[in-house]
Amino acid sequence: MRPLRRFRTALAAGVVAACLATGLVSAAAAGVVVIGHPDLATGEVAARDLERIFLGKMTRWSDGVTVVPVVLREGPTHEEFVTGLLGRSTHRFVAYWRQMVFTGKGTPPASVQSEREMVAYVGLTPGAVGYVSDAARLDGVRILVVDGP
């Protein structure tokens, strides 16, 4: 029985590796969809710009509209977004924003409790950008393609 289990594990790892290598799945964004207000001038965002947006370093879109980042308060989708797309732990993300607020250098992103609230907030707020799981209903928002690692 053990050899069969090892084979299945190796096979699954191979399939995932093949998908990652061919670009069918992004390792950074597995299970997370980045969404924006439907009137955003772009349907793409560079991974580096996404990080800058959620760290308060990029405050305007290319067309001059104010960027309004929105985060989930907690949960697996939030953890996947912060670790996979922002490249830091959720603890470091919270600590970063505490320091920015304490020193008067920034205001943290708006936060919502659920994916339903996220979709509603992003859909109604010009310039807004957020994220949800790939299983969420995406009525009234624009899916943003994340370019780069």
Query: Cα(43)–Cα(46) distance, rounded to whole angstroms?
Result: 10
Reported pTM: 0.79
Question: What is the per-residue pLDDT across 58-115, written as a single tens digit (0 to 9) for each?
Answer: 999 999 999 999 999 999 999 999 999 999 999 999 999 999 999 999 999 999 999 9
With beta carbons less than 8 A apart as the criterion, state whether 79 and 90 touch: yes
**More confidently predicted of 148 and 26:** 148
Judgement on whether residues 46 and 114 belong to the same structural domain of the protein: yes
Question: What is the per-residue pLDDT across 13-54, written as a single tens digit (0 to 9) for each?
Answer: 343 334 434 343 343 457 999 999 999 999 999 999 999 999
pLDDT of 2: 54
Judgement on whether residues 50 and 70 belong to the same structural domain of the protein: yes
Domain boundaries, position 143: 31-147
Judgement on whether residues 97 and 140 belong to the same structural domain of the protein: yes
Judgement on whether residues 86 and 18 belong to the same structural domain of the protein: no
Please choose, from the candidates 43, 63, 47, the residue with its C-alpha nearest in 3D space to the C-alpha of residue 141: 43
**Helix (H/G/I), strand (E/B), else coil: 59:** coil
Banded model confidence at residue 11, pLDDT cuts 50, 70, 90: very low
Q: How many domains does the chain have?
A: 2
